[in-house]
Amino acid sequence: MAITKITIEDGCTGCGLCEQIAEGIFEIPSDVAVVKAGADLNANEAKIKEAADSCPVTCIKVA
């Protein structure tokens, strides 16, 4: 199913793993990860899911 929304919940440590896995989607501008403006969610679905599965504190929620 297509991804329509990504939420970064409380608990992100800013480790940068999601940015490494899905570079065009996540960035860590300060302390915590955010979803980049204009990120193409559908074209990066597999990487987004991999990042969510890999997040050490499981704070990336995909809907």
Instruction: Check residue 13 for interaction with ligand SF4 (CB under 6 A).
Output: yes
Kindly state the smallest distance separating residue 48's Cβ from ligand SF4, in Å. Answer: 11
Distance CA 39, CA 16 (A): 17
- Residue whose tokens read 């480790």: 15
Token pair belonging to 17: 């793993």
16 touching ligand SF4, by CB under 6 A? yes
User: Among 3, 28, 34, 62, which residue interacts with ligand SF4 (rule: CB under 6 A)?
Assistant: 28
- Rule CB under 6 A: say whether 34 interacts with ligand SF4: no
For residue 57, give the amino acid letter. V
